[in-house]
Amino acid sequence: MTGRAPPADAPSPPVSPSPLRRRRIADTGIVDAAFLRSSPSAALMPPASPDAPEVAFLGKSNVGKSSLLNAMMLRKHLVKTSKTPGHTRLINQFGVTLQLRRAQRSLTLVDLPGYGFAQASKADQQALSTLLSGYLGGRVGLSALVHLFDLRHEPTALDVETWERLMASQSCPRVVVGTKCDRVGAAKRQQHQKVIARALGIATADVVAFSAESREGRPLLWQRILQALGDGAATADSEDDEAAPDAAAPGAAAGGNAGGRASGA
């Protein structure tokens, strides 16, 4: 390395473990979580708010994005899964307020339609490509991108192509997640993380293993997201990064919200 800073518009590398990675995220409760709106295109979305940084979630259809978002927000039905994979063609936004160790933090989580549904028509695939390109390539105020991969499988050619296109065009920080880790034996998980990392050209430690069922990986994923937003150091406290509380903050309903919207994940 030369020690020179990259150009301002250079692609940002995936968010890697900080020196605090073995320490827990303290008091990552959920004060509030709510559906905000659905938009058929990025052009029809309201401007991103600097008071609630926008974090987008991207992945193939059926990667488990809806379940992950519900687990992250400690809700059961806020983000609804479409019964027909690949059917949803909307950008869904959710507002969430976190209770951190010293303060509250508001974010806007953006649920992007899942890509790669094999049974979609060419016209639908093109429409989805246009929608995603419009958001990922032109959204002013996008603060971080969480890219999901199924931990059970090697990334597909489409996964890698999507990743490489983002590397070339998107400069915001990225977080990589391997979903459904509860379906991979504990002894084999690191090997599966290595497979994803090798396909993407990143370090194994950059892949967060996540389970929506057990919420394993939830504290670490919140840490990576907040680190991407520049808040990572403010959330660390004690020694176990998997020990953050899973309960909602006082006054928050953990049981879900019937007003959730369908997702294409």
Q: What is the residue-wise DSSP string for 123-165?
A: HHHHHHHHHHHHHHHH-TTEEEEEEEEETTSPPPHHHHHHHHH
For 94-118, b/e burial (b = at least 16 CB within 10 A) is bbbbbbbeeeebebbbbbbbbbbbe
* Percent above pLDDT 90 for the chain: 62
> What is the arithmetic mean of pLDDT over 75-94?
82
Distance CA 16, CA 207 (A): 9
Decide which of 3.40.50.300, 1.10.20.10, 3.40.50.1000, 3.40.50.970 is the CATH code for 29-263.
3.40.50.300
Domain ranges of the chain: 29-263
- What are the angstrom distances between the C-alpha of 15 and each of 135, 172, 207, 212, 241? 21, 10, 9, 21, 16
For residue 47, the one-letter residue type is P
> pLDDT tens digits, residue range 193-211?
999 999 999 999 999 999 9
**pTM > 0.85: yes or no:** no
> pLDDT tens digits, residue range 5-24?
444 455 566 776 654 444 45
pLDDT score, position 255: 39
Query: Residue 121's pLDDT band (boundaries 50, 70, 90)?
Result: confident
